[in-house]
Each structure stands twice: as structure tokens, then as C-alpha cells.
Structure 1
Amino acid sequence: MTNDEHVVLVDPAGNAVGTAPKSTVHGTATPLHMAFSSYVFDASGNVLLTRRADHKITWPGVLTNSCCGHPLPGEGLPSAVIRRLSHELSLTVSSVDLLLPRFSYRAVMPDGTVEHELCPVYRALVGEEPSANPEEVGSVLWMPWKEFSDRVLAGELAISPWATEQLPQLVALGPDPLTWPVADPGELPPAVRDL
């Protein structure tokens, strides 16, 4: 991906208010922008975890969910999920389901760098092994969902701040991630609702 890739800036209600180069967005005054998080599962309900590459601007080397990213201007979120899973993990997904349409968060790193995103959460199902792109991903790990969620909620496994906030909301959807209910796309922020 090129450094002139743009992200969609939004207001607190989720309306698009402009775009900005991705390379310039993340700093101490990061504007609110559109993003997504995805959790990849295999047929047995194991979740794919990734460790962010050590040279990432935000939370380098941190264990997190399968894949995060930003939709390009005019790109729907399911398409962005598919694009980034292919780019970061060489995965072809069989389905992409919306789980948490209104998730948002703001987190600050020790050096003052801020993430500030409207970040709907998706589930993706795969039947193949990932191949990590070292520009994005340091390592990958499959883990049974219950083991992952139990260890995080017990404070035994440290993960990214966004995944930490997402986890209780995902657990509330039920014990089996393969049967979680799909959310209404009409609840997505207006900036990406009809794409």
C-alpha cells in the first residue's frame, strides 16, 4: 500500500467530513476517522490473533485481533475487510459478517500518539492458513475463542486497547462465535452505510 492512501474523516455522528492521507493522520491530535476491526475464525471456532509488526506507528509489537484497517474513500467496509485480510495475511474469506456496527474508541500510547476511530467490528470465516505480510504482521497465532476471551478478561493476556474494549461486547453475543447474530448494516455510521 502506498503512503498516499487516504482515510475518511468523520464527525461524532459518523458523517463524512473529508479525507486525509493515512500517513499524516496518526499523531497527538488524531482526528476521528473511519476504520474497522475483524476477527477471523476457522471452522472449529478458533480465532486468529496477530502481533503487530514492530515498525507500526501505533501499538507496535502488540497482540491484537486478526486484522484492522481503514476503508478507502468510497469503499464499503466488507470490501475493506476483504482487501486488508488479503494484503496482511494472504487470506481469502468465505464470509464477512457485521457484528458491532457502532463500536468506537480513543486510545493514547505512552508517547502521546492517539488512535481515534469509528471502528465497526466484523467476523470473517476462512478455511486456509494465513501467510503474514511482514510489513504489517509480526506473527500469527490460532487460539480457541473461549481460551482467548477467558484469558483476556482475567487479565492474563494483554492485547491492544481496541480489542480489549471490543471483547466484552463480543462475549455478550454468546459463547459460540460461529453463531453470533449478524448486525443490521443500517446501524453503521452514515459515512459507510450505503457503500
Structure 2
Amino acid sequence: MGVEEIVLLNAADEAVGTAPKATSHHRDTPYHLAFSCYVVDTEGRVLITRRALGKRTFPGVWTGSCCGHPGPGEGLREAILRRLQDELGIPDAILRAAPVTPVLPGFQYRAVADDGTVEHERCPVARVAVPSGTPVRPNPEEVEAAEWWTWERCLDLVDRPESSPWYRLQLAELAPLGPPSGWPDAGTAPLPPALTW
């Protein structure tokens, strides 16, 4: 497997280069492209995950279903499906049939971990709809735990210190939209210039 690279951005969210992911997250992390997604089943439950304890950034925090970094030239939908398979082991056949909807295509944030490590990302947020009973097999190097939660429990997590900072910021925008099965499609026009759908 080659070195995983992140896409570096300027203030206009245009791609200005790449850098190795493994060495790019530190106290002066460059602004770069990322994504978050929420996997929602037909019962309206959300797949919530706890990041692996060995993760370089924000280990052990509870957050949405999956987050990651689109590679150079990779579209958002493809990056989401790739990471859902890599991190959570969701079968490819289910993912290929899953509707993926941009819900917060303009989201961006900056957060500082307790150890001083910075995340600074343009991070579009999407919903992925899957059937109830979809199998999940977390990769222990990425995910400590993965659980199907009610929307009410997701809302409760916002006020708990073990939630990720980007989760709290995203939920501030998602909560007014109501339960995730009804989140509207925000379209792809607001995606950053560096990212295709």
C-alpha cells in the first residue's frame, strides 16, 4: 500500500498540493480536505463510533460514523465509500447501492487536542442510507467501538466531553434539521473547488 496523502487547500478551498497524512497532523497542521459521514439505517438509527485508542489525533473520542480524507483526484462519494469499507467493514455490495446525500457541504472547522495537535479541515458532511441489519466489522486500528444509536442519544452526546469537537460543531447545524432520515439534500454546488462529487 502506498503512502496516503491529503489534499492541501488555500483560503479559497482550492487544491494547492499534497502531503503525507501520517506526518501532517501536528501543532501546525496545514488546512486540508476531509469529510465526515453519518450512516443511517431504515429505522432512523445512526452508526456512532469511538475512535481507536491508538489514533494519532483525538484517540478514544466518540463521533459520527466515519471521517477521512479524499485522496488527490478522488471524489467525495468514492472517498466515503472507501473509508466505510476500510474502517467499518460494511460490505461493498451494500455501499454501492447506498444513497449518499450531501447535508453540510460547506462545513469546515479547526480544533486543538489536549496534546496540542491541530485539526484544520474543510470537511463536507454526508448521510449514507443503509438497510437495517447492515453488518459492521470495525477495523481495530481505526475504530474502538461502533454502535447503532437513536437520534435522541446522538443529541445527548453533544453535551458529553468524550464527543469529538467536530461532532459537536456538526450537530449544532444538523440538530435543527430534525431526525437524520429527513435531512435535506444540500446539493453539490457548495462543495469546495478542490473536490468533486
**Same fold by TM (over 0.5)?**
yes
What is residue 148 of structure 1 aligned with on the other side? 154
SS at match of 1:172: helix
SS at match of 1:139: strand
- The aligned runs of 1:128-167 (5 Å cut-off) are 128-149=134-155, 151-153=156-158, 155-156=159-160, 158-167=162-171
SS at match of 2:146: strand
**Alignment partner for residue 114 of structure 1, among 102, 107, 118?**
118
**RMSD, matched Cα:** 1.3
Please, which moves more after superposition, 26-35 or 122-131? 122-131
For 2:166 and 2:179, locate their aligned partners in 1 and report how far apart those are by CA, in whole Å.
21
- Pair 1:190 & 2:193 matched: yes
Q: C-alpha displacement at 1:157, in angstroms?
A: 6.5
Q: C-alpha displacement at 1:156, in angstroms?
A: 4.4
- The aligned runs of 1:22-171 (5 Å cut-off) are 22-91=21-90, 92-93=94-95, 94-127=98-131, 128-149=134-155, 151-153=156-158, 155-156=159-160, 158-171=162-175
The sequence identity of aligned pairs, in percent, is 50
SS at match of 2:194: helix
Aligned residues: 190
What is residue 178 of structure 1 aligned with on the other side? 181
Q: C-alpha displacement at 1:148, in angstroms?
A: 1.6
Q: Quick one: which amino acid aligns to residue 59 of structure 1? A: F
SS at match of 2:140: coil
1:134-158, Cα deviation, whole Å (9 max, x unpaired) = 1110111111112321x134x2463
Q: Quick one: which amino acid aligns to residue 184 of structure 2? A: P
For 1:147 and 1:117, locate their aligned partners in 2 and report how far apart those are by CA, in whole Å.
26
SS at match of 2:17: strand
1:36-72, Cα deviation, whole Å (9 max, x unpaired) = 0000111011011111001000111111110000000
1:88-137, Cα deviation, whole Å (9 max, x unpaired) = 11113311110001100111111111000000001011221211011110
Normalised to the residue count of structure 2, the TM-score between the two structures is 0.92
Normalised to the residue count of structure 1, the TM-score between the two structures is 0.93
Q: Runs (4+) of structure 1 moved beyond 6 Å?
A: none
Gaps of 5+ in 2: none
For 1:145 and 1:34, locate their aligned partners in 2 and report how far apart those are by CA, in whole Å.
27
Q: Quick one: which amino acid aligns to residue 189 of structure 1? A: P
